[in-house]
Amino acid sequence: MAKQRIVRVVTRRGNLRYEFLPDFSRRLEGQIVRRVQRRAKYLVVALGSGDVLLMHLGMSGSFRIVRRGVGRRAPSEDEDYDKHDHVIFEMSNGARVIFNDPRRFGFMTVLSPAELHQHSTFRALGPEPLARRFGAAELAKELKGRRTPLKIALLDQRVVAGLGNIYVSEALHRARLSPKRRASTLVARTAEPMPALDDLVEAIKDVLKVAIRNQYRTGANDPFLVYDREGERCLRRGCGGTIKRIVQGGRSTFFCPVCQR
């Protein structure tokens, strides 16, 4: 998609999570895609006009690319499309980038640079977990004095940007930390990070790298050790515990009560 021109944008319905802007397609068509980046759980597409296409996949959204040679006939309005294919970007190289979202919790909008910087979500976002500057010292500043459970604190996008429910559960298991533990207990009175916080930061980075290699899929061949394994034996060597499920902040948490303290 990067360096290509957006030839045509087809919105097959009037809304996803929110209504599309009235000029959504017009502001995109004819624009060169300068770069595609991620910030937290958002995709940020910089356009030649200076505008930004901001997208969120929601809970079920995904993209697929259908490649066609340049000069091939354009597809008809409904050709090859699933009923949940809601937005189609036709690119100058002949490819179609198709957004599919069965639950329609995703969204897309076009913003000017000033609007992007003033966007309520972006103003409050914490550091990226795979960024070089993200470390135990940075995390300690955010957890100091927090009386909330550790898992709830880590899901707060103001603390760490882009960490999702599955990966927090997995990281806590790798770091041998209970999701119910008070967040502030990982920070010393001097405001320095405790050794366990170093382990947690390393675990967060490791889990995300594994997830990226696995293309964020879950299922029979997933790499997860606790997520969705309620009632199964803990896979940590020598543990012997049983994975338990609890609800925190309206989300399922999976952990081992034996090896996570």
CATH number, position 12: 3.20.190.10
Express each pLDDT in 168-180 by its tens digit.
999 999 999 999 9
Angle between helices 195-213 and 165-174 (to 10 degrees): 130
Q: Are residues 150 and 119 in the same domain?
A: no
For residues 100-125, give the mean pLDDT.
Answer: 88
Task: Identify the domain containing residue 33 by its residue range.
Answer: 6-123
Mean pLDDT of 192-210: 95
* Neighbour-count burial of 66, counting CB atoms closer than 10 A to its CB (0-12 exposed, 13-18 middle, 19+ buried): middle
Per DSSP, 186 falls in state: G
Q: Give the pLDDT score at 213.
A: 79
Confidence (pLDDT) at 39 = 86
* Number of other residues whose CB lies within 10 A of the CB of residue 213: 9
Residue 260 lies in a domain: no
Q: Is residue 216 part of a domain?
A: yes
Domain boundary among 123, 156, 182: 123
pLDDT classification of 215: cutoffs 50, 70, 90: low
**Mean pLDDT along residues 225-234:** 96
Write down the residue that tokens 């010292």 correspond to: 137
Residue 185 and residue 143 share a domain = yes
**CA 207 – CA 230 distance, rounded (Å):** 19
Q: Are residues 115 and 142 in the same domain?
A: no
pLDDT tens, 56-106? 999 889 999 998 754 444 455 556 789 999 999 999 999 999 999 999 999
Sheet with 62-66: strands ordered across: 6-11, 85-91, 96-100, 62-66
Pairing between strand 85-91 and 6-11? antiparallel
Q: Which of 172, 149, 165, 150 is nearest to 218 (CA)?
A: 165
pLDDT (0 to 100) of residue 216: 54
Number of domains in the chain: 2
pTM equals 0.76
Do 251 and 140 share a structural domain?
yes
User: Mean pLDDT across the stretch 119-137?
Assistant: 87
